[in-house]
Amino acid sequence: MKGMRAVTIEDVRCIARSLPRSEEHLIRGRIKFRVGRIVYLAFSRDGKTMGFAFPKEWRAALVEAEPDKFSMPDAADLRYNWVCVRLMTIGAAEMHTLVTEAWRMVVPAGVAAAHLDGAGPVAQVPKRRRAHARK
């Protein structure tokens, strides 16, 4: 886009590495970020496209609305909550939103809330006790 610097993998790394529980991995020659075992960001081998966690129910509308920017995942990945974006078509602010929202889909709600509310390092949230059913 005119006047906009293309987003790079390094730009995305800065955001993804700052998110609690996010880990970077090199898997089959591709850079991926995940929380636990769940991948929420992955780059194409050439670094031009980023796949990210996104609700399946909304991705067709997203791709139809901006087909020059977004694309459907490969056929093998259609079963996942996933969509792809061409990095050269987005700016830093949009990238930040896409990365943060993808991360939010895979991290526990309490972790996301603590981080996004600016509470600093995430404290362990005590688990609620279940009420025992009476016999």
Q: Identify the structural domains of the chain with CATH numbers, from first to last.
A: 9-116 (3.90.1150.30)
- What's the pLDDT score for residue 18? 95
Is residue 69's pLDDT more than 60?
Answer: yes
Q: How far apart are CA 127 and CA 105, in angstroms?
A: 20
* CA 106 remoteness from chain centre: 8
Farthest CA pair distance, the chain: 69
Q: How far apart are CA 26 and CA 71, in angstroms?
A: 23
What is the residue-averaged pLDDT of the chain?
A: 87
Share of the chain above pLDDT 70, in %: 84
pLDDT tens-digit readout, 36-62: 999 999 999 999 999 999 999 999 999
Q: How far apart are CA 51 and CA 99, in angstroms?
A: 10
Estimate the crossing angle of helix 9-18 against helix 92-106, to 10 degrees. 40
Give the sign of the dihedral formed by CA 49, CA 52, CA 58, CA 60. Answer: positive
Q: How far apart are CA 16 and CA 38, in angstroms?
A: 14
Contact yes or no for 44/52 (Cβ under 8 A): no
Q: How far apart are CA 118 and CA 74, in angstroms?
A: 36
